[in-house]
Amino acid sequence: MKNKINVAIIGLGQIGNFLYNEISLKKKDIELKTGKIIDIIAVSAKNKNKKRKYKIDKKIFYSNPLKIIKEKKIDILFEVIGQSDGISKKIVEQSLKNKIHVITPNKALISKHGDYLSNLAEKNKVNLEFEAAVAGGIPIIRTIKEGLATNKISKVYGILNGTCNYILTQMEKTKDSFSNVLKEAQRLGYAEPINPKLDLNGYDALAKVKILSALAFNRKISKFNTLMEGIEKIEAKDFEIVDKLKLRIKLLGITEIINNQLFERVHPCLVDKNSYIGNVNDVMNAVILDGYPVGESILQGEGAGPGPTSSALMSDLLSILRGNIKYPFGIPFKNRRKIINYNKDFYENSLYLRLEVKDKPGVLSSITKILAKNKISVRRLIQIPDNKKKTASIVIITHKCKELNSRRCIKLFKSNKNINKEPVLIRLFN
């Protein structure tokens, strides 16, 4: 690698703009650590004249990022737009084909096209680095690929979405409603202002889970439609109830190998208040790995925002500058086999069920009958009457039962006229 390295940044939103400033500030430090002198010679974004926190050099601005590749000799390109397809995919594809190293925090792109793009990178002998795609500032990808390189990893799980974790933490603290807390999160910049859905419904966390699985188990990225549930249905009432049970609600992303099959999932979980994972709060992320021979490893840090994301992007940059040409997923593309997916119907869990019912004779008996019919046995039952409204909340903690049975049960509850609202189901984490 030559000594002068030309860099392009595509996308100048909060993250791209922060990165632009970081690279400018850290030029000397980078030279000291790697012996390379880097220079940002091109940037691109939608709007040239938008007001930005850190001033950009407009002389190197391009409206069309693809033009940069044609006109300039770029060595390393940052894709910081964030689409799963469209221009994000195009620019990454074109760069790799032109033997340009690519660094991106784009989990939507990597979880969808990571196999194709990593193969492309390997063929062209350049890097495709995406440390920032999972858990922001936590160097989890480098840790799996390098720090724990020869461990046999059996399970990876954690809190992978800062928006959800912030909302759940605040709902517990304030006892306020989901929609109010969401509004506050949007005001503070912790949730997308226009469409926060992909964070809230578990999609974002699942994209990260898919990337983690591929890395931890040396497999192709799974395309399987697995268990994905978000936090939108959880109400203030649930926090009051689980608090008394010494439990806490967390949205977890989990991936593990069960009988040589891959089981990935994202859903709200009830965790012990005194557990480690139960005390990772607000926008913090955490990843826990079970490996042999290392044992349990935990990494915790800020999961999002320009600072932590830049930290990860810069670590990718230094890795490339130090000449670490590596397989994007740790092993060669051709050696990453496909994996059979575990049938989620067989997944066993204790459940927390909350049903809002009409407070009249026979209701409880009809509910327990449905449970019994579906082989779900009750470990604990709490009935909280609302005498004014003549309704009651029935909270049931079940023994372990199969996902298939719980799904059948929920379906029956939904069509039961004595149950007023859609039931709330939260799985106990074990």
List of residues contacting a second copy (CB under 8 A): 18, 22, 26, 29-30, 32-33, 131, 137-139, 142-143, 146-151, 274, 276, 279, 286, 291-302, 306-308, 310-312, 314-315, 317-319, 322-324, 326-327, 330-332, 335
The residue (of 13 and 224) whose beta carbon lies closer to a second copy is 13
At residue 123, the 3 state secondary structure works out as helix
- Specify the 3-state DSSP secondary structure of 274: coil
Residue 268 Ramachandran class (φ > 0 left, ψ -120 to 50 alpha, else beta): beta
Q: What is the DSSP letter of 106?
A: -
Number of Cβ within 10 Å of residue 400's Cβ equals 13
Looking at the Cβ atoms of 27 and 421, the one nearer to a second copy is 27
Q: Which of 143, 156, 151 is nearest to 315 (CA)?
A: 143
Cα–Cα distance measured from residue 20 to residue 134, given in angstroms and rounded to the nearest whole number: 21
- Minimum CB–partner distance for residue 193 and a second copy (Å): 22
Nearest to 202 by CA among 221, 223, 229, 224: 229
Cβ-Cβ contacts under 8 Å for 90 (sequence gap 6 or more): 66
Q: 402 catalytic, yes or no?
A: no
CA-wise closest residue to 210 among 265, 137, 292? 265
Q: Which of 107, 208, 210, 250 is catalytic?
A: 208
Task: Give phi and psi for 311, each to the nearest 5.
Answer: -55, -45
* Shortest CB 328 distance to a second copy, Å: 13
We find the least distance from the C-beta atom of residue 24 to a second copy, in angstroms, to be: 12
3 burial via Cβ count (<10 Å: 0-12, 13-18, 19+): exposed
CA distance 382 to 367: 13
Whose Cβ is closer to a second copy: residue 157's or residue 347's?
157
Smaller CB separation from a second copy, 147 or 189: 147
Work out how close the CB of 135 gets to a second copy at its nearest, in angstroms, rounded to a whole number: 11
- Taking the complex as a whole, the smallest distance from the CB of residue 214 to a second copy amounts, in Å, to 14
Strands 152-159 and 284-292: what pairing?
Answer: antiparallel
Q: Is the peptide bond before 105 cis (omega within 30 degrees of 0)?
A: no
Integer CA distances (angstroms), 89 to 93, 110, 113, in order: 6, 9, 8
Round to whole Å and give the CA distance between 329 and 390: 57
CB-nearer residue toward a second copy: 143 or 186: 143
Whose tokens are 């089981």? That residue is: 263
Name which of 300 and 398 has its Cβ closer to a second copy: 300
CA distance 242 to 236: 10
Among all chains, which residue has been given the structure tokens 């660094």?
A: 103
Given a contact cutoff of 8 angstroms between Cβ atoms, the answer to whether 200 and 268 are in contact is: no
Give the number of other CB atoms < 10 A from CB of residue 377: 11
CB of 151 to a second copy, least distance (A): 6
Nearer CB in complex with a second copy: 213/297: 297
Could you tell me the smallest distance in angstroms from the CB atom of residue 282 to a second copy? 11
Q: Which of 251, 171, 269 is nearest to 205 (CA)?
A: 251
Q: How far is the CB of 52 from a second copy (least distance, A)?
A: 17
Catalytic positions are 208
